[in-house]
Structure 1
Amino acid sequence: MPIQYHDQVNLLKDILSDHQSECCGTVAECEQLERVIKSLMVNGNTNQQAKTLLEDIYSYSQAGKNSTALDQHIESHQQQLSQWIQDIDTYS
Protein backbone atom coordinates (compact mmCIF):
# COMPACT_ATOMS: atom_id res chain seq x y z
CA MET A 1 0.00 0.00 0.00
CA PRO A 2 1.55 3.34 -1.04
CA ILE A 3 2.03 6.00 1.59
CA GLN A 4 -0.08 9.13 1.42
CA TYR A 5 1.10 12.49 0.06
CA HIS A 6 1.49 14.08 3.51
CA ASP A 7 3.50 11.08 4.75
CA GLN A 8 5.75 11.20 1.68
CA VAL A 9 6.45 14.89 2.27
CA ASN A 10 7.23 14.16 5.94
CA LEU A 11 9.58 11.33 4.96
CA LEU A 12 11.39 13.59 2.49
CA LYS A 13 11.74 16.29 5.13
CA ASP A 14 12.90 13.79 7.79
CA ILE A 15 15.72 12.43 5.61
CA LEU A 16 16.85 15.92 4.60
CA SER A 17 16.70 17.05 8.24
CA ASP A 18 18.85 14.09 9.28
CA HIS A 19 21.39 14.92 6.59
CA GLN A 20 21.38 18.56 7.65
CA SER A 21 21.72 17.94 11.39
CA GLU A 22 24.08 14.96 11.31
CA CYS A 23 26.18 15.91 8.24
CA CYS A 24 26.13 12.28 7.17
CA GLY A 25 23.88 9.79 5.46
CA THR A 26 23.69 6.55 3.53
CA VAL A 27 23.28 5.51 -0.09
CA ALA A 28 20.01 3.85 0.97
CA GLU A 29 18.71 7.23 2.17
CA CYS A 30 19.62 8.81 -1.16
CA GLU A 31 17.80 6.02 -2.96
CA GLN A 32 14.77 6.51 -0.67
CA LEU A 33 14.78 10.22 -1.50
CA GLU A 34 14.72 9.35 -5.19
CA ARG A 35 11.78 6.96 -4.78
CA VAL A 36 9.75 9.43 -2.75
CA ILE A 37 10.49 12.27 -5.17
CA LYS A 38 9.46 10.17 -8.18
CA SER A 39 6.17 9.41 -6.47
CA LEU A 40 5.59 13.06 -5.52
CA MET A 41 6.38 14.24 -9.05
CA VAL A 42 3.47 12.26 -10.51
CA ASN A 43 1.10 13.20 -7.70
CA GLY A 44 -1.59 15.68 -8.70
CA ASN A 45 -1.27 17.49 -5.36
CA THR A 46 2.29 18.60 -6.16
CA ASN A 47 2.40 22.12 -7.63
CA GLN A 48 4.96 23.32 -10.18
CA GLN A 49 7.07 25.25 -7.65
CA ALA A 50 7.33 22.14 -5.50
CA LYS A 51 8.31 20.09 -8.56
CA THR A 52 11.22 22.44 -9.23
CA LEU A 53 12.33 21.99 -5.62
CA LEU A 54 11.97 18.22 -5.94
CA GLU A 55 14.11 18.20 -9.08
CA ASP A 56 16.90 19.98 -7.16
CA ILE A 57 16.68 17.49 -4.30
CA TYR A 58 16.62 14.61 -6.78
CA SER A 59 19.87 15.87 -8.34
CA TYR A 60 21.38 16.14 -4.87
CA SER A 61 20.39 12.57 -4.01
CA GLN A 62 21.72 11.19 -7.31
CA ALA A 63 25.05 12.96 -6.84
CA GLY A 64 25.19 11.71 -3.25
CA LYS A 65 24.36 8.15 -4.20
CA ASN A 66 27.17 8.14 -6.76
CA SER A 67 29.67 10.01 -4.59
CA THR A 68 32.76 8.31 -3.23
CA ALA A 69 32.57 10.69 -0.24
CA LEU A 70 28.89 10.91 0.67
CA ASP A 71 29.45 12.66 4.00
CA GLN A 72 31.49 15.38 2.27
CA HIS A 73 28.75 15.73 -0.33
CA ILE A 74 26.17 16.22 2.42
CA GLU A 75 28.40 18.64 4.30
CA SER A 76 28.95 20.75 1.18
CA HIS A 77 25.16 21.10 0.74
CA GLN A 78 24.30 22.30 4.26
CA GLN A 79 22.94 25.64 3.08
CA GLN A 80 20.78 24.03 0.39
CA LEU A 81 19.50 21.43 2.85
CA SER A 82 18.37 24.15 5.24
CA GLN A 83 16.67 26.04 2.42
CA TRP A 84 14.97 22.92 1.05
CA ILE A 85 13.60 22.02 4.48
CA GLN A 86 12.13 25.52 4.82
CA ASP A 87 10.75 25.39 1.28
CA ILE A 88 9.08 22.03 1.89
CA ASP A 89 7.14 23.62 4.76
CA THR A 90 5.82 26.34 2.47
CA TYR A 91 4.76 23.92 -0.29
CA SER A 92 3.17 21.22 1.88
Structure 2
Amino acid sequence: MQSSIAHNPEGCNISVKISLQSNNQLSIEIADDGVGLSAQELIKIQAKKHYIMGDNPLTQQHGMGLLIVRQIVELHGGKVMISSKPNNGFCTKVVFGIEVA
Protein backbone atom coordinates (compact mmCIF):
# COMPACT_ATOMS: atom_id res chain seq x y z
CA MET A 1 0.00 0.00 0.00
CA GLN A 2 2.87 2.36 0.77
CA SER A 3 4.18 1.91 -2.77
CA SER A 4 0.78 2.80 -4.21
CA ILE A 5 0.77 5.99 -2.17
CA ALA A 6 4.40 6.88 -2.94
CA HIS A 7 4.19 6.26 -6.69
CA ASN A 8 0.88 8.07 -7.21
CA PRO A 9 1.44 11.60 -5.87
CA GLU A 10 -1.86 12.78 -7.35
CA GLY A 11 -3.68 10.03 -5.47
CA CYS A 12 -5.33 6.75 -6.40
CA ASN A 13 -7.83 4.23 -5.10
CA ILE A 14 -6.32 1.22 -3.33
CA SER A 15 -8.17 -2.05 -2.85
CA VAL A 16 -7.35 -5.10 -0.75
CA LYS A 17 -9.01 -8.40 -1.58
CA ILE A 18 -8.58 -11.60 0.41
CA SER A 19 -10.18 -14.77 -0.87
CA LEU A 20 -10.16 -18.52 -0.38
CA GLN A 21 -10.17 -20.19 -3.76
CA SER A 22 -11.73 -23.57 -4.50
CA ASN A 23 -8.30 -25.17 -4.94
CA ASN A 24 -7.42 -24.51 -1.26
CA GLN A 25 -5.39 -21.43 -1.98
CA LEU A 26 -5.52 -18.19 -0.03
CA SER A 27 -5.15 -15.15 -2.25
CA ILE A 28 -4.25 -11.66 -1.01
CA GLU A 29 -4.41 -8.96 -3.66
CA ILE A 30 -3.44 -5.31 -3.25
CA ALA A 31 -4.24 -3.16 -6.28
CA ASP A 32 -4.44 0.48 -7.20
CA ASP A 33 -5.85 2.41 -10.14
CA GLY A 34 -2.87 4.74 -10.39
CA VAL A 35 -0.21 5.49 -12.97
CA GLY A 36 0.98 1.89 -13.35
CA LEU A 37 4.17 0.81 -15.10
CA SER A 38 5.34 0.47 -18.66
CA ALA A 39 5.90 -3.03 -20.02
CA GLN A 40 9.67 -2.53 -19.73
CA GLU A 41 9.46 -1.41 -16.08
CA LEU A 42 7.24 -4.38 -15.25
CA ILE A 43 9.73 -6.78 -16.87
CA LYS A 44 12.55 -5.25 -14.79
CA ILE A 45 10.59 -5.77 -11.57
CA GLN A 46 9.65 -9.34 -12.44
CA ALA A 47 13.10 -10.36 -13.73
CA LYS A 48 15.33 -8.98 -10.98
CA LYS A 49 15.46 -9.59 -7.29
CA HIS A 50 15.41 -5.81 -6.83
CA TYR A 51 15.83 -2.69 -8.91
CA ILE A 52 17.03 0.88 -8.50
CA MET A 53 16.14 3.77 -10.81
CA GLY A 54 17.30 7.37 -10.92
CA ASP A 55 20.57 9.27 -10.85
CA ASN A 56 19.99 11.22 -7.65
CA PRO A 57 20.40 9.16 -4.45
CA LEU A 58 17.77 11.33 -2.76
CA THR A 59 15.12 10.50 -5.35
CA GLN A 60 16.04 6.92 -6.23
CA GLN A 61 13.18 4.49 -6.31
CA HIS A 62 13.85 0.92 -5.38
CA GLY A 63 12.00 -2.36 -5.27
CA MET A 64 13.34 -3.58 -1.96
CA GLY A 65 9.83 -3.79 -0.51
CA LEU A 66 8.83 -6.21 -3.26
CA LEU A 67 12.05 -8.15 -2.75
CA ILE A 68 11.33 -8.56 0.96
CA VAL A 69 7.70 -9.53 0.30
CA ARG A 70 8.79 -12.09 -2.30
CA GLN A 71 11.39 -13.63 0.05
CA ILE A 72 8.94 -13.93 2.96
CA VAL A 73 6.16 -15.36 0.79
CA GLU A 74 8.47 -17.89 -0.87
CA LEU A 75 9.83 -18.99 2.53
CA HIS A 76 6.23 -19.87 3.41
CA GLY A 77 5.65 -21.76 0.17
CA GLY A 78 3.70 -19.02 -1.57
CA LYS A 79 3.95 -17.13 -4.85
CA VAL A 80 3.97 -13.42 -5.70
CA MET A 81 2.50 -12.18 -8.96
CA ILE A 82 2.79 -8.59 -10.16
CA SER A 83 0.82 -6.99 -12.97
CA SER A 84 0.51 -3.46 -14.28
CA LYS A 85 -0.31 -1.36 -17.31
CA PRO A 86 0.50 2.30 -17.92
CA ASN A 87 -2.26 4.53 -16.54
CA ASN A 88 -4.18 1.45 -15.47
CA GLY A 89 -2.82 0.67 -12.02
CA PHE A 90 -0.55 -1.82 -10.30
CA CYS A 91 -1.45 -5.10 -8.65
CA THR A 92 0.46 -7.41 -6.33
CA LYS A 93 -1.11 -10.79 -5.66
CA VAL A 94 0.19 -13.22 -3.05
CA VAL A 95 -1.04 -16.82 -3.09
CA PHE A 96 -0.53 -19.47 -0.39
CA GLY A 97 -1.63 -23.10 -0.43
CA ILE A 98 -3.56 -23.88 2.77
CA GLU A 99 -4.99 -26.89 4.50
CA VAL A 100 -8.72 -26.70 5.14
CA ALA A 101 -9.99 -28.63 8.12
Common topology (TM > 0.5): no
Q: Based on CA coordinates, which of the two structures has the bigger radius of gyration?
A: 2
More helix by share: 1
Structure with bigger RCO (C-alpha 8 Å, 6+ apart):
1
The normalised TM-score by structure 2 is 0.28
